[in-house]
Amino acid sequence: MDRLLEGRVAVVTGGGKGIGGGISRALAAHGAKVVFNYNSNPDFAERTVDEIKKNGGEAYTCPVNVQNREQVDAMMKKAAELYGGIDILVNNAAWQPNMDIDECTDDVYDGVIDTNLGGYFRCIQSALPYLKKSEHPRIINISSIHGKRPSDFDVCYTMSKGGIEMLTREAAMELIQYGIRVNALLPGGTKIEFKSGKTQPFKFKRVQRERQYGFRAVGTPEDVANAVIFLASEMGSHINGTSIRLDRGAILF
């Protein structure tokens, strides 16, 4: 396999497990040194670091709440100190409580918006001084298909993803003066090993008639990671301010 990101340094928020874990492993496999945080679960994060190291890669993990500016700043500084700078920021850490508007409290609203939108904003601002010095700077925002289509089970989550759509466009427009490309990826349903305990199961309100796709409509973290590698590599250098659906076209059915 060609290693497309040899020597680059990547920061992945929530990069220890789920989609983020797949992204961290893929970045490392392509030669990037990876720094990622965990918020709730050190076991998954440490396991991912071990796995990357076992395969000859470099990775570092630390506990950071993306709602906390000082902790985010410290993570970026640490990444730069350890590996000499930051080239790629993957904003991925998110909270999906699966609550309808009638059950969603003030605290849940604030938590979701401040993690999913505020966290992305904070990490971009904090990584900016390092990204400006990079020769191949990239910001990749992991959003969701629900940035385009309502979920019908999680109002704040969908609002935050609608915000990420515009955050991506504004940032792309503003930061291209520094050569920084900013794009969003919109995964559809993705199979992951573990979801945070703050998530409740979704309640479908539609009469369910099983959609017969005739193909694998549910993605894997690797499917998302492939798109991250593409955008982060030289092949993605002419792509800016767009959002790419990763759902095999399931949204069309």
Partner 1 sequence: MVTERKVALITDGSHPSAASIAEKLESEGIIVVKNYPRSEKKGPIEGEPNSFAFDTWSFEEMSKLLEFIVEKIGNVNYLVHTDNVVFRSSIEEISEDDFKRVLDYNAKSAFMSTKVFAEHMAQNEGGAIVYLSSVHDDKPTGCAFAYSVSKGAVRMLCKEMALFYGRQGVRANVVQLDPVEEQVELFDSLISPYNYDAATKIPLRRLAKPEDCAGIVSFLLSDEASFINGADVRVDGGHLLYYFDR
Catalytic residue annotation: 157
The residue written with tokens 């109002």 in the block is: 155
Does 242 bind partner 1 (CB under 8 A)? Our answer is no
Our measurement of the distance from residue 243's CA atom to the centroid of its chain's CA atoms, rounded to an integer in Å, reads 13
Distance (Å, rounded) from C-alpha 1 to C-alpha 121? Answer: 34
Does 167 bind partner 1 (CB under 8 A)? Our answer is yes
Distance (Å, rounded) from C-alpha 43 to C-alpha 41? Answer: 6
> Interface with partner 1 by CB under 8 A: which range of 16-24, 174-182, 183-191, 196-204?
174-182
Does 138 bind partner 1 (CB under 8 A)? Our answer is no
Does 97 bind partner 1 (CB under 8 A)? Our answer is no
Distance (Å, rounded) from C-alpha 225 to C-alpha 154? Answer: 25
Nearer to partner 1, 58 or 165 (CB): 165
Q: Is 222 helix (H, G, I), strand (E, B) or coil?
A: helix
> Interface with partner 1 by CB under 8 A: which range of 56-64, 73-81, 85-93, 142-150?
142-150
CB 67 within 8 A of CB 114: yes
Which residues contribute to the site for partner 1 (CB under 8 A)?
69, 100-102, 104, 106, 109, 113-114, 117-118, 121-122, 124-125, 128, 146-147, 149-152, 155-156, 158-167, 169-175, 177, 205, 241
